[in-house]
Structure 1
Amino acid sequence: MLAFPAGFKIYLALAPVDMRKQFNGLWLAAEQTLRIDPGGGAVFVFANKRRDRIKLLYWDGTEVWVLAKRLEKGRFNWPRGSDASRLALTPEALTMLLSGIDLRDGVRRAWYEAKNAGES
């Protein structure tokens, strides 16, 4: 599981993004759609229209990282209905989102099963 330090800046793109985008395409989406410089060290979280795939874009000061996650079933709980193009998240909220926790209700989504949860 990914872990980010407290106070780390994380921005969630509310509009869907074409998951065929890679480094440059996601960088442009952060600049043009979210209106934030990706070179500032924040993490940018993008999802496709079905919300079963996400990509994270991060500049660590020397290189760009793109991380991807695809759900085999279910969807990520994505905020909707806001006029804003982005939402700022805490590292804890991102961890819950990636772990299948419904941020509105604070419960794990029914489709989510942590495989091998008891194994090390």
Structure 2
Amino acid sequence: MILPRGISRAYLATRPVDFRKGHAGLALIVQSVLDQNPYNGAIYLFRSKRGDQLKCLVWDQTGLVLVYKRLEQGNFAWPKVQDGVMRLSRAQYEALFEGLEWRRMVAQRVVPPAAAG
């Protein structure tokens, strides 16, 4: 994957954005619409109106990184269009980026045993 390693938080803007926006325009959306800090190391995902394009914005401690991906066939699996932001697990984010159905992916927590035996 092209994106920086060590990303632990991913946020998805649920409403499509104008894909002519670049680093500064998307960072402004992160601040003003999503009420987040674009320089906190989290990755922010944006969808196009048609649903076949994805932009990712992340601060890598040296600058803002913008990744653009367009699927050659089909669309990304998106949640229902509404205002707001949705937090994704790392597995959900990676599946979304690959164009897979990520909405059914649920992490299962395993409780460690009380004693070895």
TM-score (ref. length: structure 2)? 0.80
- C-alpha separation in 2, matches of 1:104 and 1:91: 12
Cα RMSD (Å): 1.8
- C-alpha separation in 2, matches of 1:63 and 1:5: 16
The runs of at least 4 consecutive aligned structure 1 residues that moved more than 3 Å come to 2-6
Q: Deviations over 1:74-93 (max 9, x none)?
A: 100001165x5010011111
Residue in 2 aligned with 1:77?
Answer: 77
Runs of at least 5 residues in structure 1 that lack an aligned partner in the other structure: 107-120
- C-alpha separation in 1, matches of 2:94 and 2:31: 24
CA contact (8 A) 1:5 1:91 kept: no
* C-alpha distance 35-96 of structure 1, shift in aligned 2 (>3 A): same
1:91 is aligned with what amino acid? Answer: R
Task: Give the count of matched residue pairs.
Answer: 104
Residue in 1 aligned with 2:18?
Answer: 18
* C-alpha distance 18-81 of structure 1, shift in aligned 2 (>3 A): closer
Residue in 2 aligned with 1:112?
Answer: none
1:71 is aligned with what amino acid? Answer: L
Identity fraction in percent: 36
Aligned: 1:98 with 2:97:
yes
Larger radius of gyration: 2
CA contact (8 A) 1:55 1:67 kept: yes
- C-alpha separation in 2, matches of 1:81 and 1:43: 20
Runs of at least 5 residues in structure 2 that lack an aligned partner in the other structure: 106-117
Residue in 1 aligned with 2:112?
Answer: none
Q: Deviations over 1:49-73 (max 9, x none)?
A: 1111110000112211000101122
TM-score (ref. length: structure 1)? 0.78
